[in-house]
Amino acid sequence: MTMDDKVAIWISETMTDGSMREWFALKGNVSKFRLDFDIDAQTDFFDEDHLVILRHELADNTLEAAVSDYFDHAFWSRISSRLKKKMPASKVNFLLAAPGFSYSGKVKDTGGLVFLGNFTCAEKEDVAKYFDGTF
């Protein structure tokens, strides 16, 4: 990601392994997540293969620390600032980030999953340094 890349964020305080499987199980080549949030595969570029899914229970530390492993340090500050309007940050047990995607749908909350907003951010580390330029 570059410094100006968009990332759409969804959060939940009630996500379980079972409900996560339900959200991302395919039904006719489309996940329940895409259907419920009305993300159209034909018009919206939404790459399910590159989602960043963070769960409090799976993180070695806090959700904040897990977010900081993937994105710049100031990113969590922007998330928690917007969270104050939805729920306490300490109650969030699940965060879904869709890099390179800006959600513009009308559905903001369904089945315990809440769209928090579109943000700009940078990855913590430049992955391009791992390639030798022979592509």
User: Which tens digits make up the pLDDT trace of 19-45?
Assistant: 988 988 888 888 899 999 988 866 667
CA distance 120 to 4: 6
- Indicate the pTM of the whole model: 0.78
Residue 73 in domain: yes
State the burial class of residue 59 (Cβ atoms within 10 Å of its Cβ: 0-12, 13-18, 19+).
Answer: middle
Residue 25 in domain: yes
Residue 60 in domain: yes
Residue 135 in domain: no
Question: What was the pLDDT predicted at 42?
Answer: 60
Residue 48 in domain: yes
Tell me the pLDDT band of 131, cut-offs 50, 70 and 90.
Answer: very low
Residue 129 in domain: no
Residue 103 in domain: yes
Q: How many domains does the chain have?
A: 1
Residue 49 in domain: yes
Domain range for 28 is 5-124
Q: Name the least confident of 36-45, 75-84, 91-100, 125-134.
A: 125-134
Question: What was the pLDDT predicted at 50?
Answer: 80
